[in-house]
């Protein structure tokens, strides 16, 4: 990410998380909370999340997803949205939602994926990082990453009346 892109993601977030190793920031993630007038559902938009390449593979991105989902659930959101070129983003959110379904935080969810040509204007990552599911990887192989294609993902949550509040409070 360029410095301008980082600053665009730092500004205007309703929730902003930073991971530190000592005094050095090694990752961040944000969420913006939206309520569209023509849509009764409240929407948590997951803005950029980045973990330094030196610290990837340690499930830190998963922790950033968990923390943002915990907050979205606690605030009663019905939808989670994000834009991405990375199948691991979709995979991680799906896995966390599956876990919450198994734990009865929600009764289920569905995913809508919309391809947006050149939405990012460039390739965001140097290397394509596949996930464990070929069906997800196949969809991301359809993107022209150099042009900046990406997907707009909408995770529609099927909520229950007796949602548990499992929000993590404090630092990651």
Domains identified in the chain, total number: 1
C-beta contacts of 143-146 below 8 A and 24+ residues apart: 143/85, 143/115, 144/117, 145/85, 146/122
pLDDT band at 12 (very low <50, low <70, confident <90, very high): confident
Q: Please give the mean pLDDT across all residues of the chain.
A: 87
Q: pLDDT higher for 151 or 169?
A: 151
Model pLDDT, residue 95: 97
The model's pTM is 0.85
Residue 165 is assigned to a structural domain of this protein: no
Share above pLDDT 90 across residues of the chain, in percent, rounded to a whole number: 65
pLDDT at residue 164 tops 80: no
What is the domain range of residue 63? 3-159
Report yes or no on 83 lying in a domain.
yes
Burial class of residue 43 in the structure, from the number of CB atoms within 10 Å of its CB (0-12 exposed, 13-18 middle, 19+ buried): middle
Which CATH number is 76's domain given?
3.40.630.30
User: What is the three-state SS of the chain?
Assistant: CCHHHHHHHHCCCCEEEEEEECCEEEEEEEEEEEECCCCCCEEEEEEEEEECHHHCCCCHHHHHHHHHHHHHHHCCCCEEEEEECCHHHHHHHHHHHHHHHHCCCEEEEEEEEEEECCCCCCCCCCCCCCCCCHHHHHHHCCCCCCCCCEEEEEEEEEECCCCCCCCCCCCC
Asked if residue 117 belongs to a domain, the reply is: yes
Share of the chain above pLDDT 70, in %: 84
Beta strands 79-84 and 150-159: pairing type?
antiparallel
Residues in the chain: 172
Q: Is residue 146 assigned to a domain? A: yes
User: Is 170 part of a structural domain of the chain?
Assistant: no
**For residue 61, is it within any domain?**
yes
Residue 168 lies in a domain: no
Q: If you average pLDDT over residues 130-141, what whole number do you get?
A: 94
Residue 36 has pLDDT above 90, yes or no: no
State residue 37's pLDDT score.
64
* Site of tokens 């998963």: 62
In a domain, 164, yes or no: no
Tens digits of residue pLDDT in 71-99: 999 988 999 999 999 999 999 999 999 99
For the segment 37-73, what is each residue's pLDDT rounded down to a tens digit? 666 668 999 998 889 989 988 999 999 999 999 999 9
């Amino acid at each position: 990410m360029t410095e301008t892109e980082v600053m665009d993601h730092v500004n205007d977030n309703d929730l902003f998380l930073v991971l530190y190793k000592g005094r050095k920031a090694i990752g961040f993630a944000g969420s913006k909370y939206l309520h569209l007038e023509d849509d009764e559902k409240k929407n948590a938009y997951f803005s950029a999340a980045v973990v330094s390449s030196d610290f990837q593979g340690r499930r830190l991105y998963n922790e950033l997803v968990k923390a943002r989902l915990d907050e979205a659930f606690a605030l009663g959101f019905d939808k989670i949205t994000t834009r991405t070129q990375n199948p691991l983003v979709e995979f991680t959110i799906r896995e966390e939602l599956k876990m919450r379904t198994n734990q009865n935080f929600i009764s289920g969810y569905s995913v809508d994926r919309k391809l947006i040509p050149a939405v990012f204007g460039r390739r965001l990552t140097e290397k394509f990082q596949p996930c464990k599911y070929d069906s997800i990887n196949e969809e991301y192989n359809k993107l022209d990453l150099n042009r900046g294609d990406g997907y707009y993902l909408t995770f529609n949550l099927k909520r229950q009346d007796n949602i548990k509040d499992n929000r993590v409070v404090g630092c990651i």
